[in-house]
Amino acid sequence: MEGKTYLDQLIDFAWRFGPKFLAALLIFFIGLWIIRRLTRGFDAFLRRRKVDESLRPFFTSLSDTGLKVILIFMVANTVGIETTSFIAVFSAVAFSVGLALQGSLGNFASGVLILLFKPYRVGDLITVDGRTGVVAEIQIFNTVLKNDHGKKIIIPNGKMTEGPIENIEMEVPVQTEVAILLESDSDMKTVREAAEAAATRCPWRLEDRDTEVVLTGLSRDDIKAEIAWWTLGKDYIQTADFMHEALREEFAARNIRIAKERRRETV
């Protein structure tokens, strides 16, 4: 009699919940098939839009995970499991984790923006917060620079988006500049001749662009001149190094004297 009662309860349970479990299994496997098709389609869409290779797998994985989470909620709801309390707990945990990792999440969001809008690319020479280097890697959380001394500089992406960036692209013409304090009796015509002679010696100078010499400051003791010539971004560093050495030699050959003390500029 007791065995029959258990059998009746089992049959009643099967009639009550069996169709729900079958429907949940059907939704689960069909849902997985649909998610795979949608994920592949989304990945193909990102490829056609030429989204950065380092960003595309992340977006694809994020969409796949999100769709699977929605599918799990649908399956649980079909079986009859209350998902309201589960969603509340999940939201609370996500909120707590978000607060604990808000700095990292900020760097992550900045990394996504950098990869999407490309204010700089790998190979560009940039200056950020007083640090100059060639962009070696653009990661999700950090940007990695390498300076001309071979040192690696790792800057959080939040820093890269919160302030100004000086970007020198590799194949774009750019001016290499140097500001020099000269003795007050220096002849500017001779200074221009020296600057042009130094520029002519530079193997990276763009010959179709003129050398510029501009007087930007004048006092009783000295004068301030800015000298610039054009080069390509990829040659900026070696051009700047060559510029200082060549100008020093040309100034010495023409008896142009550098001011011994830097004057205090007044506003």
Nearest to 126 by CA among 66, 118, 260: 118
Percent of the chain past pLDDT 90, that is, above it, reads 2
Instruction: Determine the residue type at 108.
Output: F
* Rounded Cα–Cα distance for residues 128 and 145 (Å): 10
* Rounded Cα–Cα distance for residues 218 and 222 (Å): 6
3-state secondary structure of 225: strand
> Where would I find the beta strands (DSSP E) of 5-151?
125-128, 131-138, 142-146
Question: What CATH number corresponds to the domain at position 155?
Answer: 2.30.30.60
Question: What CATH number corresponds to the domain at position 207?
Answer: 3.30.70.100
Question: What CATH number corresponds to the domain at position 85?
Answer: 1.10.287.1260
Same domain, 244 and 178: yes
Q: What is the mean pLDDT of residues 45-63?
A: 74
How far lies 132's CA from each of 125, 127, 165, in Å?
A: 7, 4, 10
Q: How confident is the model at residue 17 (pLDDT cuts 50, 70, 90)?
A: low
Query: Residue 111: enclosing H or E segment and its boundaries?
Result: helix 102-117
Same domain, 124 and 94: no
* Rounded Cα–Cα distance for residues 108 and 59 (Å): 13
The predicted structure's pLDDT at residue 89: 64
Q: What is the mean pLDDT of residues 89-94?
A: 66
The predicted structure's pLDDT at residue 188: 86
Which of residues 155 and 93 earns the better pLDDT score? Answer: 155
Same domain, 8 and 93: yes
Q: What is the mean pLDDT of residues 6-26?
A: 70
Q: How confident is the model at residue 266 (pLDDT cuts 50, 70, 90)?
A: very low
Residue 111 lies in a domain: no
Residue 48 burial by Cβ neighbours in a 10 Å radius (0-12, 13-18, 19+): exposed
Residue 112 lies in a domain: no
Q: How confident is the model at residue 261 (pLDDT cuts 50, 70, 90)?
A: low
Instruction: Determine the residue type at 100.
Output: A
pLDDT, tens digit, 9 for 90 and up, residues 149-186: 888 888 888 888 888 888 888 888 988 888 888 888 88
* Rounded Cα–Cα distance for residues 84 and 64 (Å): 23
Same domain, 42 and 82: yes
Residue 87 lies in a domain: yes
3-state secondary structure of 17: helix
pLDDT, tens digit, 9 for 90 and up, residues 129-145: 888 888 888 877 888 89
| pLDDT for residue 87 is more than 80 | no
3-state secondary structure of 132: strand
Residue 86 lies in a domain: yes
The predicted structure's pLDDT at residue 175: 85
| pLDDT for residue 5 is more than 50 | yes
Mean of the per-residue pLDDT values for the chain? 80
Q: Which of 72-81, 97-106, 210-219, 226-235 holds the top average pLDDT?
A: 226-235
The predicted structure's pLDDT at residue 33: 92
| pLDDT for residue 65 is more than 60 | yes
How many structural domains is the chain composed of? Answer: 3
Residue 242 burial by Cβ neighbours in a 10 Å radius (0-12, 13-18, 19+): buried
3-class SS shares of the chain: helix, strand, coil, % to 5 = 55, 20, 25
Same domain, 94 and 6: yes
Give the structural domain span for 140: 119-168
Residue 106 lies in a domain: no
